[in-house]
C-alpha cells in the first residue's frame, strides 16, 4: 500500500530537500488527488491502492482525466512532477523495485512569453510612493529593490537587516531550495534602501515590543508578507493608472528583459536571476528578438 508513505515522503522533502511549506502543500494536494482518482477508478479506498496499480498506464489515464477537466498543461506537468518525486522516494526506500512511470512523457508545454513593463512604465511606477511619508519611503525601497535586483518576492520578504551590505552595495538573498546568492544593488536601489533604513524603518519597528530581524516591516512592526507586497504594488499600479494587471514577478521579468535589451549576456542574467538552468533564462531571448524586430521595422528603409 503506497498511500501510507505520503507523510514520510513529505518529511523527506522538507528535511532533506528543504522544500518550502507551499511546495509541501502542493505535493500533498497532487498526491491526494491522484490517489482519489485511483480510488474512484478501481472502487478501492485510496489507503488500499496496491503498488501494482501505480504504473504508466494508470498515470497516463490520470493525465487524460486532468485534461478532460480543463487543466492547463503547466498544471498537469506539475502534478506529474509530484508523482515522479514520490516514485523516486519509494524506489530509494525500496518500497518499489523500479520506476513504474519512467516512460510517461511530460505534457508539451505552451510557450508563454513573460509579461514585462517598459522602462517608462517602471519609472512611473517606482516614482509613485510619497517620499515624505514613512510608508512611502518603505514602498519606494521595495519597488526599487525588486526591479533593481530582479529577486523574487519570496526572496525580498526573507531579507534580514544583517543580509544588507550598503557599503559594498550588495544583498544576500535566499532563493529556491534555500540556495544563497549575492545580488548587487544599483545606485537607485541603494539610495532608496539607505533612506528607508535610516529614516523610516524604526517608525515601523516601534509599533511592537518584539524585535524583528526583517528588513521590510508592516504597520505592526512585523515582517511583510508576499501578499502585502502584492497589495502595495497594486496600490501604486492603480494610482498611476498603468491600465494592466501588474504582479511583483513582472518587475523580475522587466529586470531580465531590460538587461538583455541593453547588451547583457545570458549567462550573467542567469546568475543574477538565480536560475539553475540556462534554459529557464532563455525565454527572455524571445523578448529581445521581438525588440530587434521592432527596431528593424522602425529603422530599415525597405522593411
DSSP structural state of residue 65? H
The answer to whether 152 is a known catalytic residue is yes
Catalytic residue among 41, 73, 84, 249: 249
Catalytic residue among 14, 28, 73, 275: 275
Catalytic residue among 147, 196, 236, 284: 284
| Nearest-angstrom CA–CA distance, 76 and 106 | 8
Beta bridge partners of 214: 160
Backbone torsion region of residue 99, taken as left when φ is above 0, otherwise alpha when ψ lies between -120 and 50, otherwise beta: beta
Catalytic residue among 73, 84, 176, 181: 176
The answer to whether 176 is a known catalytic residue is yes
The answer to whether 275 is a known catalytic residue is yes
Buried/exposed code over 10-32 (b: 16+ C-beta within 10 A; e: otherwise): bebbeeeeebeeebbebbbebbe
C-alpha cell at 266: 545570458
Determine contact, residues 229/243, Cβ cutoff 8 Å. no
Length of the chain: 303
Catalytic residue among 79, 140, 152, 174: 152
Q: What is the 3-state secondary structure (H, E, C) of 20-43?
A: CHHHHHHHHHHHHHHHHHHHHHHC
The answer to whether 28 is a known catalytic residue is no
Q: Cα dist. 235→218, 226, 274 in Å?
A: 15, 14, 28
The answer to whether 118 is a known catalytic residue is no
| Nearest-angstrom CA–CA distance, 297 and 303 | 6
What is the set of active-site residues? 152, 176, 249, 252, 275, 284
Amino acid at each position: 500500500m503506497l498511500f501510507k508513505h505520503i507523510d514520510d515522503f513529505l518529511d523527506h522533502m522538507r528535511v532533506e530537500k528543504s522544500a518550502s511549506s507551499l511546495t509541501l502543500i502542493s505535493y500533498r494536494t497532487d498526491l491526494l488527488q491522484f490517489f482519489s482518482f485511483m480510488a474512484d477508478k478501481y472502487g478501492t479506498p485510496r489507503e488500499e491502492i496496491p503498488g501494482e496499480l501505480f504504473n504508466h498506464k494508470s498515470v497516463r489515464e490520470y493525465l487524460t482525466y486532468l485534461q478532460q477537466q480543463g487543466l492547463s498543461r503547466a498544471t498537469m506537468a506539475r502534478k506529474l512532477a509530484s508523482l515522479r518525486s514520490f516514485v523516486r522516494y519509494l524506489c530509494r526506500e525500496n518500497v518499489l523495485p523500479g520506476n513504474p512511470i519512467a516512460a510517461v512523457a511530460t505534457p508539451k508545454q505552451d510557450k508563454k512569453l513573460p509579461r514585462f513593463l517598459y522602462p517608462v512604465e517602471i519609472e512611473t511606477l517606482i516614482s509613485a510612493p510619497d517620499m515624505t511619508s514613512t510608508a512611502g519611503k518603505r514602498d519606494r525601497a521595495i519597488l526599487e529593490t525588486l526591479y533593481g535586483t530582479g529577486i523574487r518576492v519570496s526572496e525580498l520578504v526573507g531579507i534580514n537587516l544583517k543580509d544588507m551590505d550598503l557599503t559594498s552595495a550588495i544583498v544576500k538573498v535566499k532563493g529556491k531550495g534555500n540556495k544563497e546568492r549575492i545580488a548587487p544593488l544599483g545606485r537607485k536601489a541603494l539610495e532608496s534602501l539607505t533612506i528607508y533604513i535610516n529614516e523610516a524603518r524604526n517608525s515601523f519597528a516601534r509599533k511592537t515590543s518584539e524585535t524583528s530581524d526583517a528588513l521590510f516591516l508592516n504597520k505592526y512592526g512585523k515582517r511583510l508578507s508576499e501578499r502585502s507586497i502584492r497589495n502595495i504594488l497594486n496600490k501604486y499600479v492603480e494610482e498611476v493608472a498603468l491600465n494592466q494587471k501588474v504582479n511583483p514577478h513582472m518587475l523580475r521579468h522587466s529586470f531580465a528583459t531590460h538587461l538583455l535589451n541593453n547588451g547583457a549576456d545570458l549567462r550573467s542574467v542567469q546568475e543574477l536571476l538565480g536560475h539553475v538552468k540556462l534554459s529557464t533564462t532563455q525565454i527572455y531571448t524571445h523578448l529581445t528578438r521581438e525588440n530587434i524586430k521592432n527596431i528593424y521595422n522602425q529603422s530599415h528603409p525597405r522593411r
